[in-house]
Copies of this chain bind each other. A is one copy, B any other.
Amino acid sequence: MSPRMGLDMQGVVEAAVELADEKGMAEVTLASLAKKLGIRTPSLYNHVGGLEDLRKRMAFYGVNELYASLSEAVRGNSGEEGVKALAAAYVQFARERPGLYQAAQHAPDRQDDEMVKAYERVVNLVVTVMNHYGLEGDAKIHAVRGIRSILHGFTSLELTGGFGIPLDLDVSLRLAIDAYLAGISVMKDLAIKE
């Protein structure tokens, strides 16, 4: 053990994420984080490289947590059930940890190998559940982009208060996914018959 073990980076990042979930990413400053941790602002530089570095680490943490939630939800379910379980887990994650979800949206640095890998794990999970539809090559990529768009778009609109009318949001998402999947199925049938 190193001399004088105090805070560590993981604890700092997790405290920052707590702040984000409580008050939103905009309220996560080095000043507010230091206050929460009971230390002075410059002491944070012993654990993170600065505000931008903190945000990157929060994004990394968020993407990994999202992956954990999604893979847990998908486990055992395959095909259409898998997609529905994934979708439900996706919005649940964003609702329970809105700040962390927001943090995970930080534009991924393509030079950062660890970050790219973490991001790809999530995308590959979506690819896996979509395998049930028997799409190949580009068609599969397009289909995955579609699902990801629905999930992120719906979540983002819900979180920013974009849906005004008080009509059950879970039903909206379920119907959107159902329609999209039904559409993929019929389009695939059409393509085969040609």
Contact = CB atoms under 8 A, between A and B. Distances in A.
Contact of A150 (B108, B119, B149, B175): B149
A162 B187 contact: no
B172 A183 contact: no
A167 interface: yes
Nearest to A174: B142
A151 interface: yes
Contact of A153 (B154, B164, B178, B184): B154
Interface band, chain A: 35 or more
Contacts of A146: 150, 172, 175-176, 179-180
Interface in A93-131: 105, 107-108, 110, 116, 119-120, 123
A161 B150 CA distance: 16
A142 B183 contact: no
Contacts of A148: 153, 157, 162
Contacts of A175: 142-143, 146, 187
A123 to B, nearest CB: 8
A136 B179 CA distance: 16
Interface of A: 105, 107-108, 110, 116, 119-120, 123, 138, 141-143, 145-146, 148-154, 156-157, 160-165, 167, 171-173, 175-176, 178-184, 186-187
A-B complex: 5 closest residue pairs judged by Cβ atoms? A153-B153, A183-B183, A179-B183, A146-B176, A149-B153
Given A105-B160, A148-B153, A150-B153, 15 more contacts: A110-B161, A141-B165, A141-B167, A142-B172, A143-B175, A145-B154, A145-B172, A145-B176, A151-B153, A175-B187, A178-B187, A179-B180, A179-B184, A181-B183, A182-B186
